[in-house]
Structure 1
Amino acid sequence: MRALVVEDDPGIASGLQTSMRQAGYAVDLCTTLDAAWLALSVEPFDVMVLDLGLPDGDGIDLLARVRRQAAPAAGRETLPRNDLPVLIMTARDGVSDRIDGLDGGADDYIVKPFDANELMARLRAMLRRAGGRSNPLIEHGELLVNPAAHTVMRAGQPVVLGGKEFALLLTLLQARPQVLSKSRLESSLYGFGEALESNAIEVHIHHLRRKLGEQLIKTVRGVGYFMPHETADGNARR
């Protein structure tokens, strides 16, 4: 999961970045509205955590700009997803402030100071809703995945995955049966400035297949990777 944190307080930003990375997010940090808009325009983020009081304006203005975007026409710059899940994180705790934020297009609202575990739970709930799920667990054939606990069971047996392996598995599960390109997977797993080997995705895919089954992840040569849906009898289908 690729997350954008828009926050100008160094202490809050650093702590949040650390907590989210430990939870498996690839996190990018912006301290101004202009920098956040640029980041949103060039990278496919899965979620945004947005402060309101920023040096160059109000975060509500950035949220409004994202929400009113349409799909880009041919030849135009890439535009942020207008359905991007957004969590407002702010010291403004008035009822009217929360109403304005939610009516302005935010999916959730948390007031500073906050507990990092609560913020993570709110992000998970937002991503479930965005993916059309209500169940906090993800089932796929023999797999049972718990995003909150970072656990994977295969046929009732626990399987230990590395952090990037788990993040890649979640990305493919949540996108199924869409084919995701190598570059899209890299964007989901690695933030700006993170070291990335040219064959990192191939290595992670190899490890997942070895641990969870060779048929789990399909390759579309020259295009990317996908996980097929499951039929009622548990067999894979595209």
Structure 2
Amino acid sequence: MIILAVVLLLVYLAVTVGLGGMARSRFDAALSEPARGGKSSARLVCRALLNDAGLMKVGVIEGWFKGWSSYDDEKEHVVLSPRLIESASPGALALAALQAARAEVARKSPGSWRRRRQALRWSSALPGFGFVLGLLFLFARRLQPTAALWLIAAACAVGLFVFFVTLATDLRAVVIAKKSVADAKVFADSSDLELAQSVLDVAPLLDLRGPVASTRWLLLHALPMSKRS
């Protein structure tokens, strides 16, 4: 019975950690290619903003994250282009990354991202909590082995439910970003300073606490001195 409980817990961890790790590794691979024209700072800005906004999980299913360049009407998701990352200004890239999050925040309350992070933490902790609780009841002879296994299975099921609901909501944020990505293309020809200011104005809505200082530093230092002056 204990072996079955351990196997159940390992399956849960494989699903949640595996999906999250797959999205993060594919996204990092798309952004870690050698930059042309000194655009490595733009990659840092884009990655920092997406990570802070809780959008790193978007694109798990097909590994969509390669860049925010166009919208595929047929498949209903954003298609990335490394060419955009190489040619666009840091401000334009940052705005393109943040527009999707801003669209989602506008649709919900400002605290939705914080609640979603808390839900993910609880969902990841539930199976472990159920596993320990089931074993304690089992060894204390308060529950039969079958009942203890059902308790662990229920904790894993609730954790998976919260995980996939959160994932579906994040995928919805990409669909909402259709107009935002188009706007970012237009804004790419604008002033870098204006773009950076737009990002900084929106950042507080996303509940960016610790990382917001480093994001602000990256944005401002990624701009050419001539344009900042």
Tell me the TM-score range normalised by the shorter chain: under 0.3
Greater helix percent: which structure? 2
Normalising by structure 1, we get a TM-score of 0.23
Larger radius of gyration: 2
Normalising by structure 2, we get a TM-score of 0.23
Q: Which has the higher contact order (CA 8 A, sep 6+)?
A: 2
Greater strand percent: which structure? 1
